[in-house]
A and B are shown apart, each in its own frame.
Chain A
Amino acid sequence: MLGGIIGPVGLVLMAVVLPALAAGVLRGLVRTSVLLTLPIAISALLVNLFFFPGGQQVLLRVGPITATAEGLEFALEILVRIMAISGAITLFYLTTRPQDLVVDLERRGVSARVAFVANASVQTVPAMVERAQQIAAAQRARGLDTEGSVLRRVRGILPIVGPVILGSISEVEERTLALEARGFTRPGSRTLLWWPPDSSSQRITRWGLILALVALVGARVAGRLG
């Protein structure tokens, strides 16, 4: 019954769990992945378990709804696939500094502007959160009520969101001027001060993964993976 999930489980173990264990981030990966996937995992499980079309082997009846073994098998397959996707993404974020990624992309020829936008986007979020906290503290000091009932909290958000967004927009022009004045719009590549190390074992692993991906896609297209 569980034959269909052996592949995805093997993939999760090989491509997510073992690398996370080696990187020492397994605990954080499990916690984050579970938090990220729980809502979609629950809905996928319930929908497929109870509403799988054409299920014959009945496991449970709840009024007019029937849970079938075929539905359970498919739901588990979907769950493991979701775990593979969320685990891989979480592993990437837990083991890669955005700055390293951006610098490496730039080193490999990605435009400095694209790299800047990617980097600035990542770094803008904590800056905006901090600004929002400062504005919230300032507004509270002037009597704004941001606690209590849901209605009060919603009402309290507006005087905070407004200044955060308007402040960010008003800074754009001056920031643009400063970037222009520092030669940011010069065409051609920038001088990089450093870049992440790229050992031969990392290169071999990377090419191995690419070849494995091509092989798996090929096998799938050829019908060898069922």
Chain B
Amino acid sequence: MLTLEGCSYRYAGAAGASLHDVSLTLRDGEVLGVVGRSEAGKSTLCLVASGLAPRTLGGTLGGRVLIDGADTAGRAMHEMASEVAIGFQNPGTQLSGVATTVYEEVAFGPMNLGISRDEVLRRTDASIDALAIRALSQRDPERISGGQQQLVAIAGLLALAPRHVILDEPTAQLDPAGTRLVSDAIERLAAGGASILIVEQKVDLLAGICHRVLAVDEGRITLEGAAAAVLGDPTLHALGVAEPSAVRLRRLGSEAGLSEQAIEGALALATSRVNDA
């Protein structure tokens, strides 16, 4: 379980805090979605939860970050790496820059942990299979598409076998097929007991995989609850977050005077068409 207790964070040199008194609990096996407008503090939340802020970034952290009830203050970043993994939006900068094949790139993280060679190989193979990138394994990671690089970067995170995974807009550069692979991998990870915190603009993705969603605005949590409730909240639009397709369809149907039965029928039809595609 990953817990933030009253966390505030100010970047080094910044005039004010980017995160204010944020408290949340990420339970084992749970997928927690984070939405909010640009510059709302979503990425800062990810950096604080991962331990990178303030360990690597500097700045000032107020409050506590706990793993299974134990305060992480004083723990080095490399100690956090095998427990909390974080992935970013830009796939190019997540690559190590030294691996000549995708296989070596995925293995880079576990190699750093000093575990046995057999375990590195086992984790690398499992992560490659989870993201369905076996066909890329002997390719140069610098010479594949941005979407493929993102899948490789996520596979590299999974190879660390973390219990908590933080993903900051992981599908921003992925096509629908790549997005589906990532969402499948997230669901599998959660089913295996890992907890996932995912920041996403693709609210349909969040609606499909998240147990809970929270909205962030101006560095504060403004909405929190079950995914369906938060993503269906009428105030979400004012926070710069688009409605999920299902919510939009229901709202438009209702405004057009359609019956509940007709709306649900249209929704079921649309869902089956998307799944077929």
**Which residues of A pack against B, CB within 8 Å?**
99, 102, 112, 116, 119-120, 123-124, 127, 130, 171, 174-193
Contacts and interface: CB of A to CB of B under 8 A. Distances in A.
Given A178-B93, A191-B111, A183 B160 contact: yes
A127 B92 CA distance: 11
A180 B120 contact: no
B29 interface: no
Given A174-B93, A182-B85, A186-B114, 17 more contacts: A116-B98, A119-B98, A120-B97, A123-B142, A130-B142, A174-B88, A175-B97, A177-B47, A181-B81, A182-B160, A183-B81, A183-B109, A186-B78, A186-B112, A191-B115, A191-B116, A193-B117
B52 A179 contact: no
A183 B107 contact: no
Nearest to B113: A183
With a 10 A CB-CB cut-off, give which of B82, B96, B100 has the most chain A CB atoms. Answer: B96
Interface residues of B, number: 42
A181 B121 contact: no
Contacts of A174: 88, 90, 93-94
B50 interface: yes
A176 B57 CA distance: 10
Interface of B: 47, 50, 52, 55-57, 76-78, 81-82, 85-86, 88, 90, 92-98, 100, 104, 107-117, 120-121, 142, 153, 156-157, 160
Nearest to A171: B93
B56 A177 contact: yes
B120 A183 contact: no
Contacts of B95: 178
A166 B262 CA distance: 55
Nearest to A190: B111
A177 B153 CA distance: 13
Query: 6 closest A-B pairs (Cβ-Cβ)?
Result: A183-B81, A186-B78, A183-B112, A182-B109, A174-B93, A119-B98
Given A175-B93, A183-B160, A191-B111, A99 B100 contact: yes
A182 B108 contact: yes
Nearest to A185: B78
A185 B77 contact: yes
Given A181-B52, A181-B86, A190 B93 contact: no
Contacts of B120: 191, 193
Contacts of B56: 176-177, 180
B52 A180 contact: yes
B111 A193 contact: yes
Nearest to B121: A193
Contacts of A116: 98
Contact of A192 (B88, B111, B113, B157): B111
A116 B97 CA distance: 9
Contacts of A193: 104, 107, 111, 117, 120-121
Contacts of A119: 98
A72 to B, nearest CB: 48
25 contacts: A99-B100, A112-B112, A120-B97, A123-B100, A171-B93, A175-B93, A176-B56, A177-B52, A177-B56, A177-B88, A181-B86, A182-B85, A182-B156, A183-B78, A183-B81, A183-B109, A183-B112, A186-B81, A186-B112, A191-B110, A191-B111, A191-B113, A193-B104, A193-B107, A193-B111
Contacts of B78: 180, 183-187
A184 B57 CA distance: 16
Given A116-B98, A191-B115, A193-B111, A182 B81 contact: yes
Nearest to A173: B57
A137 to B, nearest CB: 17
Contacts of A102: 98
Contacts of B100: 99, 123
Given A175-B93, A180-B56, A120 B117 contact: no
Contacts of B111: 190-193
Given A176-B56, A192-B117, A182 B88 contact: no
